[in-house]
Every structure is written in C-alpha cells, then in structure tokens.
Structure 1
C-alpha cells in the first residue's frame, strides 16, 4: 500500500489530464497572487482549488493588510513611518529569532506592493482608530494598530504607527479582497480547476517536481507542471494529528481559526519530497477581550493571581501569552467604573465587594490577588507600571466592587492558527534538508514559515501571502522562459 502524500514517479504516469507551465495549489490570497504574476509574464497557469470557489481563509478575515513605511494613508492620518522604522518594529515583534531576510525584503517592497494592490482594485482609507489594537474594524476606519505598535515594549523600539490597512468596500474586508485578487488572476489568463484536491507531487528522474496528482470529482487525475508547482494550500490548524505533533498547546482550545483546507496537506506533500519545515510549533492566538476599551483599565492575572502581560497591548499578544505560557488559564479583573460586558456580549462571571472575596470565589491562592492589586494600585496612583509598562492613560487604581471575567479556554474565546510551515527563500523556493532549493517546487502563504516567525500582527498573513505569493509565482514562471 502506498504511503499518503508519497511522491509519484513521472515515468509511471500513464497520461496527463491537464498541462500548464505553472500549477498553483490553492486559490486564497497567496495562490491568487502567485497565479496573477505567473500568468502576467506569459506562463500558462492553472490553479487547483479543493473548494468550489476562490477565497480560502483570507475571504473570512476582517481584511487587514499590514502595510507601512509611509503610505499615503498613514500620511493622511498624521502618522509618519519609514522603511527603517517599520523594519525595527517587525524585527522586535516577530521573534524570537525573526526571519531577517524576509522582513527586510517585505519592508523594502511594501510601497510597490501597495501600488500593486491598488491596481488590482483594492482600496484603503486614511483614517485611524487609535486604540483598536487588533479588534474588528468599524465602517469608516482605514488604519488600525494591529500589533501593539503603540504599547510597551514596542513603542520604545520604533515610533508607533498604525499599519493595519483595512480593505474598503464591504465587510468582511477579506471577502472583498479575494474577489479582487481572484478576479485579477483569471483576467490575467490563469485557468482554474475547482473541486480539485491536490494529494501528491510528481517528480521526474532528476528529482524535479513536474506535476501534481489530484482528486477531481472523485477521479484521480495527473496534472503536468512544466515549469513548477506553487503550494499555497494554507496552514495545518485543522489537522489534529499535526497540531498534536507540532503545536499541542492548541489542543486546549475548541475553536480553530481556518477553513477545512488548512489541513497541512501542502506541507505534507512537500515533506514527502524532502522539504524542510520551520517553526512548526509557532502559533498565533487572539483573545478578544479588549473591547470596549474601558476593559483594558483592568488587570489580567493567571492561576497564581499574578499579572503576566500589559493589558493594553494587541489582543493577539495577550492571547498568545495566555495560551502558550499560562495554559489558557487567565482572569480579567475590572472595577465598577470600567466594567462593561465584553463586545462578544460575554458578561463578568464573578462580582464581589473586595479583592479578598473575589479571589476566594475564583479559587486563586489566598492573598494572591490582594497582593497583586495592592502593588498595581500603589504604582497606578503615580502613573507607573514597573512590571509591564502599561500606558498611563489606562493605568488607574482598581477599587471595589470588583468583577472578574473568566478567560479560561473552556469559558472564553481563543482563536488560534498556525504560523509554521515550509522553509522557503523570499522568492518562494522550497528548501530541502540540506537548505538547497528543491527544483520545480515553490510555496507561499500559511503553507510556509513567513514574516511572522512567532510574534504576530493582524494583517501580516494577508500582507505576507500576497507579496510572497507574487514572488513565488514570478519565480516559478521564470523557469518556463528558460
């Protein structure tokens, strides 16, 4: 019996059901961008999509695209930014051990990439919601802080600037974006094959990837790729076995942020031909507690009753810290002055007159919450947070009565997705275990380990997927012209 995802020798393929220069697997943000570029330079391009339409996870997103370095929208909103400033932030925020080569290429190319998006019909707006930090946009908002740029410690690393550019034209913005990008790819000449699930790569006698074996309407078909295959098939958050193997911390959360296509099949197909993977344990996890804004006046504590993060930062950083470092056990403590039901209409779980009573109700160690609040309030009165650098504008002493939101994974919303994937060069070449490019194989988007090595900002997935997807498509097409 053959192994799942095992490559197929081209010499054993009896007939090819279809033929193209470049075959793109997946018609999401990365795949549509790759297909557009490949078709534009004259390569015969075919996109295989397992669903019945284009979109992928990108179509379900709020539609932030992480741009910067002084875009016209930033200038209109009054926020100066430069390539160097953006790069300094991403190097600090996308670690530890960020992919410097990809970050440098990303920042240097971002102005041109914005123009490319505009040419595809994507629209942005130069207005800003200063304190959003990753929450969903509202109508009329064009820019958002989506990575803690204006919070400790990053505000001291680089001048804060909002870089989450919200796609205009409807909600969700991701749906609008994908209509523009997939339509542009088809107009450029890319053909599509929907309801076609790629299963294996085809390799010739020299080790070059030269095709794909797929299931189309229940029939197995072989599709030739004369120049190369671009894998843009999403991440692996919907594959329980891969999550258990690489990112088991996610197992405590019931929600998975992705589509059925995020099952790791693109990664597995590439691994079967010797591809190297990178940072497979890295995940992002939003913990959407921080709206209304008044709630960030509170403190978030762990099972020991101690703070572990500055509450005014990006909700993705709070969620990542809570899930990865605290086992998804956390509680938000607020006072009566700043209490409101969470924007997801989740109310407080416990309400007590004093911190002592509240810690007893929650089940925290005796005296722990009292000590934490005493220390916090003492410094808040002088506008300081010596532990986590919370901004003075939301640093106020908390006095009873007090309420607590249960932020444990079983009670609150954690929204994780994977960041790890194939190890690629910035132009999309997939590397083997010896760090050499695998001939004929390229990849982009969540199938790869991209700009967000571990830390994350909302909008990086769409920015990374579209920019590196373009380069992967162009690089694959270049082989057709040799």
Structure 2
C-alpha cells in the first residue's frame, strides 16, 4: 500500500485492517475519554488510539478546572445564585468577539446536566469556595472565579458568579497529580468499565475514506510500524491543539513563536492537518490563551504598566486576561509597580503558585527615581502613579475599574518587577464543527463519518479565554462526538 502523509487514503487500497471498532477515537485526553464513554454507553464498540503510553493527555497535567454554571450543586452549596442567561452574557463578552452562538447556547443550557454527569462518572467536587486572587486554589476547594467575572468590565455586563469547578484531590501536585489528574482518572475508569479498548503508542497519520468520501478509518504508526484501523460507524479526532507545531504557529499565531505553555509536545496539530486534507473548514486559528508568569497575589496589590509606563488592565481580573492583553496588545511589555507594604502582604498571602513569586528588579524611595531606573520617559510613570493615587485615596479606580478592596495608594519605598516577556500560551483555534461535533467541510456540510472535539477544534473561545473552558467544552462536545459517531451506520 502506497500512502502519502496527511493526504487521505482510499479504503479500496487497504488489503486488510489491523484493528477495527464501531467508533475509533484518536486521543485519550478529556475530549477523547468523554467521547468514548458516551459512544460505549450508546452500545458501540469503542477503540481509542493514544500516542503516548497511557490515558491523560494535557488534561491530566492541567489544573483541572471545568467551566460550568447556571446553578450547579457546588454553586448553590457555596451560596451563589447563577442562571443560564447570566452565564451566556458573561461568556459572550469574555470569549468573543466571534463566539459560536449555537455552541454557547447549548453549553450554557446543558451546563448543570454536564456537571451532574461528571459527578455520576465519579469525579469528586468539594463544595467550598476559594475567593483569593490566584490561578487555582492552594488546597482542595472546588469553586473559584476563573474568568474575571467579578472584575471590570465584565461585572457591569453580567451578574458575577464563580464557575470554575475543580475536582477535589488530596495532596495534589501541579503537573503530576492535580485537579486534571483527578478529572481524568475516574473518567478513564468509567470508560474501561464500559468496555472501551485502548491501543497506545499510536501516532495517527491520515484518514481513510471510501468511494463516497465517507471517513471509514485511520492509518497510524504503532511502535514504528504502519497499521490500519477501521471505523465501522465513525472516527472522532481528539488529539489536542497545534501549540507545538512550529510551522502552524508561524502561519496562524506568530506571537506565540517560542513560547508554548500549559500544553504538551504531542499537541502538534495532526488532527487539524488530516481533516484539512479532506477539505475541513477552520475557525479562530489566531486565538490563543496566554498565561502571565507572575503570582496574582502580588500584581493585584500593585499596578501593571506597559513599556510606556501606562496602566492597561484592571489588576484584579483573571490572570489569563492579563496575559492576553500584555502579549497581544502591549508588545509583551509589562512591569509591576508595588510599594514595600503591599509587596510584603502579597508574599505572605496563600498561593498555589509560589514559583511565580518574583523579587523586585528596582527599588527606590520615590516614583521619580524608579522611573529613571526603569528607563521610562520622564514624567510617564509619575503621571500614572499620581493619577492612580489621587483616586485610590478614596478607594476608587475610575480609569480601569479595579475593585475598591484592592485599591490603595502606592507609597514608599516603591519597587518595580520586570515582567517583560513573561508570557506563554496555547492555541484555541481549530476545526470548525457543528453542535453535534461533526467536522464541517468548507462548503458548510458535515464530512461524513468524521467528528472532532477538544483543542483540535474551534470550541467556545473565539478570542478571550477563561480557565476551565478547554476542559469544559472538550468534555461537553466530546460527549456529543461520541453520541453522534455511535449513531452512524
């Protein structure tokens, strides 16, 4: 058999199949495992092909947030009132412009039921709220603000409610056995209990189509040997983003060149390229999550300024929004200006990201001296601090809307922490899919037999991001993909 990488292979050219199942899923992360559970629950024989040596993917290494709302059991237990409409209003603003309205509506309306499904699958959530600034709770609390819902400008657009739900985990270690691991472990056990099979060290290469253009399988390499896999009903692509595909990053998201973060090397865009070879459409390929490598307990207590000495973001917002605005709108230039008292208070505050705590780069008695040390134009930083302090004396921030609890005049001695270039991220764009996770051709029609979910697709995020959206829409639309694929044939 003569195959060309990426380009589809004709089923007529395959003499025999090495593996086959009703539904074949490429990738055993959050989207893949959710698809597997639903397909198996629908009575399909399911085979998952995983590139590494075990289940998990990027999800197992993540903080584990799943963005859910509308009145989940955890929200109610913690005393928060939420609704589908308020959730939609917030996400439309935070994730846009260009949000897929049909997906957004389905996701918000199905959010409570999706939470209940996760619990039924064995995912544990502690019914306690963590209200401090931070990327994630330092302990095992189950609910946090993870999108800037209670910060400007979003707190004026929708009634704030925390929606970042994180699985409970004893003695959790970020990147090893944290919230993401505790999300994936019970889901993978559920899939196994339903008879889902998995083959590991499977690097998918290309799709197989029949004479009618229907996707009927995959070609992969296992332990260096080419193998063929037949899908009697459908193929689900769930192999992750293209954060580690240098050529695709240069073509679509050049500001992320050399700065992948919160991702894994297996995220090489393989599914996107394979489906493109069949004429699949793409969406929001320039969108990216951007992490900001500084502890929020520090920067919430000071002011963040750009390379011109000007503030550009309310410091009490979601730290991922700080990262996006820093990299994408301020040339990756950022400095934290903070006085001694605020710095010491921030360093003493509880955090899950001690590695992001930084020592001052410059320390001076006056803002004028600090401005000169930093090499900023004379009067630039002094004007910014004077403006901030004038209103901070009354606990107000009319310029950017930081909440009064974090607004205090900057005193002396005063320091600045150099945060230039302290960003990294992963891609959010990918294959265009329907609400049933069908991969759409450039004509707008579904490609028969092909489904996709997770970060290889363009999900809910169109520009902005909230922690929990990847695991949220990956699991939600992964379930849709599994159901739809099982119903084929």
> Do they fold alike, i.e. is TM over 0.5?
yes
Superposed CA deviations along residues 103-123 of structure 1, whole A, max 9, x for unmatched, are: 110011111111110111101
Superposed CA deviations along residues 150-190 of structure 1, whole A, max 9, x for unmatched, are: 10111111111111111013320111111111111121111
C-alpha displacement of 1:21:
1.1
CA–CA distance in 2 between the matches of 1:305 and 1:56? 40
| Residues 3 and 9, structure 2, Cα contact 8 Å, conserved in 1 | no
Q: TM-score, normalised by structure 2?
A: 0.94
1:122 has 2:127 as partner: no
| Residues 135 and 288, structure 1, Cα contact 8 Å, conserved in 2 | no
| Residues 284 and 316, structure 1, Cα contact 8 Å, conserved in 2 | yes
Paired position in structure 2 for 1:466? 475
Among 163, 178, 184, the residue aligned to 1:178: 184
Paired position in structure 2 for 1:380? 392
SS across alignment from 2:92: helix
Paired position in structure 1 for 2:302? 298
Give the number of equivalent residue pairs. Answer: 474
CA–CA distance in 2 between the matches of 1:360 and 1:106? 51
CA–CA distance in 2 between the matches of 1:86 and 1:11? 49
1:356 has 2:368 as partner: yes
C-alpha displacement of 1:9:
1.0
1:319 has 2:323 as partner: yes
CA–CA distance in 1 between the matches of 2:314 and 2:257? 25
CA–CA distance in 1 between the matches of 2:408 and 2:224? 62
Paired position in structure 1 for 2:350? none
1:399 has 2:405 as partner: no
Paired position in structure 2 for 1:274? 279
Gapped regions of structure 2 (runs ≥ 5): 173-177, 348-352
CA–CA distance in 1 between the matches of 2:9 and 2:253? 29
SS across alignment from 1:38: helix
CA–CA distance in 1 between the matches of 2:374 and 2:213? 60
Paired position in structure 2 for 1:308? 312
CA–CA distance in 1 between the matches of 2:363 and 2:161? 37
SS across alignment from 2:314: coil
Q: TM-score, normalised by structure 1?
A: 0.96
| Residues 307 and 372, structure 1, Cα contact 8 Å, conserved in 2 | yes
Specify whether residues 121 and 385 from structure 1 end up closer, same or farther in structure 2 by C-alpha distance, changes over 3 A only: same
1:331 has 2:328 as partner: no
Paired position in structure 1 for 2:149? 149
Paired position in structure 2 for 1:236? 242
SS across alignment from 2:487: helix
1:76 has 2:72 as partner: no
C-alpha displacement of 1:226:
1.4
CA–CA distance in 1 between the matches of 2:91 and 2:243? 24
Specify whether residues 359 and 252 from structure 1 end up closer, same or farther in structure 2 by C-alpha distance, changes over 3 A only: farther
Superposed CA deviations along residues 354-411 of structure 1, whole A, max 9, x for unmatched, are: 11111221121221101111111112222322221111111111122111111111xx
1:437 has 2:441 as partner: no
CA–CA distance in 2 between the matches of 1:473 and 1:325? 39
CA–CA distance in 1 between the matches of 2:290 and 2:412? 31
Specify whether residues 439 and 374 from structure 1 end up closer, same or farther in structure 2 by C-alpha distance, changes over 3 A only: same
Paired position in structure 1 for 2:34? 33
SS across alignment from 1:59: helix
| Residues 212 and 223, structure 1, Cα contact 8 Å, conserved in 2 | yes
54-63 vs 381-390, greater mean Cα deviation: 381-390
Superposed CA deviations along residues 224-264 of structure 1, whole A, max 9, x for unmatched, are: 111111000000101111111100011253x4321121110
C-alpha displacement of 1:289:
2.4
359-368 vs 340-349, greater mean Cα deviation: 340-349
CA–CA distance in 1 between the matches of 2:387 and 2:34? 51
Q: Matches of residues 115-264 of structure 1 in structure 2 within 5 Å?
A: 115-132=116-133, 134-170=134-170, 171=172, 172-251=178-257, 253=259, 255-264=260-269
CA–CA distance in 2 between the matches of 1:168 and 1:397? 38
Among 468, 475, 482, the residue aligned to 2:484: 475
CA–CA distance in 1 between the matches of 2:64 and 2:243? 20
C-alpha displacement of 1:135:
1.2
SS across alignment from 1:479: coil
C-alpha displacement of 1:3:
4.8
| Residues 40 and 189, structure 1, Cα contact 8 Å, conserved in 2 | no
Q: Matches of residues 12-51 of structure 1 in structure 2 within 5 Å?
A: 12-51=13-52
| Residues 377 and 398, structure 1, Cα contact 8 Å, conserved in 2 | yes
Runs of 4+ in 1 over 4 A off after TM superposition: none
